[in-house]
A = this chain, B = another copy of it.
């Protein structure tokens, strides 16, 4: 950690500042420039509230951290790619996975029909919402436990592993047979939930929050890994910006950046990013090309009458057409769809 002092501070004040830091167990090192003196702090600075030091010492102009705040997820610490295994399906290390299914599970007929169809088209995992976070208290909030039951039925029918969202930690006991636990964007900084999921010993799909930086996303993954669970898949799903032509702005740069900073697999959700069905296919193609390890795409057997997110869902034929296109692209990248 570095503290840059204001110009013209007298030496005794500098010495006093440095001594107080040394009393807290750090070594300090002064670098005196033409205008500013810089105090370099050596030791484990994780316990220091840097901003507090700045604001409460009149002589300090600002401070900077030298090391990244995340450890377990850091590629510097763990250089090789982490593989996330969902049964025989693998995320990372040259594999490419496509998670597909409806926003909400609505009925047995619907989820079985969608599961069969997306599997035939090439999807390798099934998604479907049982517990739905909704902006309005009056909107459909999912079939809840019955939704989970129907997802497991669809798994029995098709063999597709199941990805579904948990909304709070009291629901976790219901998720014992679910394959991948999804943490939704609005829960990315629900830290108690992250801890519980870290102890739950299942692969986790962690979606980036609407207004969260990549560093914050990695810190949330760090919560899960710090509890002993390294089976985490990161998901870019669009951030909130001033642009209103799309529901969110897909931050495609997040994919290569996250893969540089971390060893975890990274997938893209073009459906939530765009919020518009007509953009899902081009964005999915971009995600393959930019180096993502997978995709999450909303599909529905009857989008016009979907109980949620119909606007951004592909119908089953559209998804099939997209998958045939994506297969050639995945191969072009030298990657492998499925297991």
**A→B interface (CB under 8 Å):** 2, 4, 7, 29, 31-36, 38, 40, 42-44, 46, 49, 51-57, 64, 66-67, 69, 76, 133-138, 141, 167-170, 186-187, 189-195, 209-211, 213-216, 219, 222-223, 226, 239-246, 249-253, 255-257, 260, 273-279, 282-283, 285-291, 303-313, 328-329, 332
Contact = CB atoms under 8 A, between A and B. Distances in A.
A104 to B, nearest CB: 11
Given A36-B66, A242-B242, 13 more contacts: A38-B40, A46-B136, A51-B311, A52-B304, A52-B306, A52-B313, A56-B303, A137-B223, A137-B226, A241-B249, A253-B283, A282-B291, A329-B332
3 A-B pairs with the lowest CB-CB distances in the bound complex, closest first: A52-B310, A211-B211, A51-B311
A169 B67 CA distance: 35
Given A7-B76, A191-B167, A214-B245, A38 B279 contact: no
Nearest to A195: B137
Contacts of A240: 211, 242
Tell me the interface secondary structure of chain A in the complex: mixed
Contact of A135 (B66, B219, B260): B219
Nearest to A222: B137
A200 B4 CA distance: 38
Nearest to A7: B76
Select the residue from A43, A245, A288 with max chain B CB neighbours within 10 A: A245
A111 B332 CA distance: 35
A243 B226 contact: no
A168 B189 contact: no
Contact of A274 (B33, B141, B253): B253
Nearest to A135: B219
Contacts of A7: 76
Contact of A310 (B51, B251, B275, B303): B51
A216 B135 contact: yes
